[in-house]
Amino acid sequence: MRLGVVCGVLAVLLSGAVTPAAAAPAASEPVYDYAKAVRETVWVDIGRDGDGDGRSDRVAADIVRPGELTSGVPVIMDASPYYSCCGRGNESELKTYDSAGKPVKFPLFYDNYFVPRGYAVVQVDLAGTNRSAGCADVGGPSDVGSARKVVDWLNGRATGYSAKTGGSAVTAGWTSGNVGMIGKSYDGTIANGVAATGVAGLKTIVPISAISSWYDYYRSDGATFGFNPAGLAQTVEARNSGQNCSAQNQVLTTGATANGDYGPLWAARDYVTNARNVRASVLLSHGVNDLNVKTLHFGQWWDALNVEKKIWLSQTGHVDPFDYRRADWVDLLHRWFDHYLLGIDNGVQNGPMASVERQPDQWADQSRYPAAGAAATTLRPGASGTLGTAPASGTASFTDNPNVGEDTWVTSPGSAALTYSTGALASDLQVSGTSSITVTATPSTASARVSALLVDLGAATIRNFAGSGEGIKTGTTENCWGSSTTGDDACYRIATADVKKVTYTIISRGWADLANYASLSQERPLTPGTAYTMTFRLASTDHIVPRGHALALIIGGTDASFIRGPAQPGRLTLDLSRTSLSVPVGGVLPPATTHPAALGGGAFVASAGRADLR
């Protein structure tokens, strides 16, 4: 019998009658008619009653999917509170609906580009926003649960309905259950939060300029930025009439204590502590000059992840890569979703882990982030204004002036800040990763703030991240990314780099309340004349300080550009022998034997205040 089978197979082979296996697709193709796409809304029960009306809240999931496919469709999901109040993308697009309430306009290009390629796009109104019931809780269980429950519904584990109240049950039999979440700012933050729950079916996330811990958005090692989550909740709830969110907003106000302590409200919104639960792959993008969602967010999240991941770091502020590197970003997203949601073996997970913008529109790939050659190095400020690896001694003092901030500290610090410098570098020095500083300071009063800056002293041309476009200029011409219909076009205005010549660049910042020297959870009274030691974090970055420039450390009190001052500003005296900087650097540091050169005239980057979280 075995001989007969072998002979039969051999005869078939010799006859040429065997049909070769079909080659695996290299990429999804736009073969589905976008004009025939199914557009619908499903209200998913999230199992919470945030607005206290006695009914379990339902959130609106607006769906657009290929009409030709009835099964096996993967989902790209953007869960947001901004679909009616603030808009999405550089052009602030809002959702629109026809007279029957059917969704017409899906903001951003994801639907136009990916639906013809066989994907569904689902845009979720977080609880309490747009057409969803409930109340926003700014990154808490309601926000994260809104999106997670939609993932559950897509995988048959939650109930969806045809109406906001009443209606009939709706199932998602058309989907494969594979979900990828994407979004910028608040939206990307929710992607982080949902991933940290470990929910099954979430295969990948693409957080863009996203928060990883809400404490670090509103506070910094005990210092406060001067704004609070209740205000953001009221903003996103403003256009959703009919619900009473006063109780939830009071929870936010009470929990976000004015003294900057880390407490239960913040712990419930700290995704980094649950990063071990993340099973989804991560494609992360952030601007290293983002002064809204500061770069510590991507650094601590990235370090805590143990999954397949890649990262893009631009010179911009709070900007989507679609607006500074459009074609490359769309191509990367296409390959990324194809691999993780459709299972196409295109190798996107291989190759360089990081891509970093070194100069405007000039990018360099790195095998990893932080850079492979970067190692944590201890630098110490010297009594003569030096910054180097040698042990230091002596003391130095400054007087806290809450009316001035970082730019004044760099250009003309006077008695308000202390400057320490490596002197001119003989070769390039790469700072790649997250730094921290340990200070031993004696305050003259019972309250004190301490701030630190890392500065590249030297002329450069950079993106104007402090400008109105945060590093981009939006033109009037458009290009198109996918298919269009009446009411939902695929065309977007083209942005170019907004550049500026500077004499220095602040590459990292950090702020702290000295009263939290022993614990972030409980500040302690300071005794004037007593020395306190505190370690606090500086923002994550990847920056090359060129040969001939200097790396400087500036230490001051209240950085008026960002934080609120103490009740009693006073004089702080540093013990230099017990003050040090831990900075991840690649390259050789010179012996610090020279004083920092005085800055010449010229333009410099003005401080950028907080923008709204979009």
Residues recognised as catalytic? 185, 290, 318
Nearest Cα to Cα of residue 24 among 253, 309, 338: 338
In sequence order, the β-bridge partners of residue 386 are: 421
Q: Which residue has the tokens 């899906």?
A: 106
d(CA 389, CA 407): 26
d(CA 212, CA 196): 10
Output the six-digit token pair for 206: 């693409």
Q: Are 97 and 51 in contact (CB under 8 A)?
A: no
Amino acid at site 365: D
Output the six-digit token pair for 10: 């051999």
Output the six-digit token pair for 280: 């989804």
Q: Are 299 and 288 in contact (CB under 8 A)?
A: no
d(CA 526, CA 447): 6
d(CA 280, CA 195): 7
DSSP 242: T
DSSP 531: -
**What's the Cα-to-Cα distance from 49 to each of 45, 127, 239, 539, 602, rounded to whole Å?**
10, 10, 19, 38, 57
Collect contacts of 365-371 with beta carbons under 8 A, ≥24 apart.
366/542, 369/302, 369/311, 369/313, 369/432, 369/433, 369/542, 370/432, 370/433, 370/542, 370/584, 371/430, 371/432, 371/433, 371/542, 371/586
Would residue 559 be called left, alpha or beta, if left means φ above 0 and alpha means ψ between -120 and 50 degrees?
beta
Would residue 253 be called left, alpha or beta, if left means φ above 0 and alpha means ψ between -120 and 50 degrees?
alpha
d(CA 384, CA 369): 34
Amino acid at site 218: Y
DSSP of 438-480? EEEEEESSS--EEEEEEEEEEEEEEE-TTSTTSSEEEEEEEEE
d(CA 560, CA 233): 26
Alpha carbon 24 to chain centroid, angstroms: 35
d(CA 148, CA 193): 9
